[in-house]
Amino acid sequence: MNAIKRVAHAFKHTYNATLVRSIAYLIGLFYFVVANDLFWTGNADWNTPLMTVLFNAPIFVFATATVCTFVYYYTKEKACNDFTATTSSSNNNHANDNAEADEQ
């Protein structure tokens, strides 16, 4: 159940991440410019291997940023849960030690 919560938390934060949203806007702007260039000048310049890489690079950048952001928030939530579990367990142990000391 905790894994499902972590995945949901990571999806929510990835969707709202400023980095991912900014890259998406820049990609939209890039492809708008490319579409105008293709419309006005034709696709003769876009048939070279370098232009093919340039055309596809933003998608790979966006996918990489999305995956890295998701992994970051997933591991952050896991670390937060592990820390909370450790701290509450530690606090319970101290409470038990204090109770035993009071009994003596």
In the chain, where are the structural domains located?
2-88
pLDDT beyond 90 at 60:
yes
pLDDT of residue 26: 92
Query: What confidence category does residue 86 fall into, taking pLDDT thresholds of 50, 70 and 90?
Result: low
Which whole number is the average pLDDT over 34-39? 82
pLDDT beyond 80 at 58:
yes
pLDDT of residue 64: 92
DSSP 99: H
Average pLDDT of the chain to the nearest whole number: 78
pLDDT beyond 80 at 63:
yes
CB 16 within 8 Å of CB 70 = no
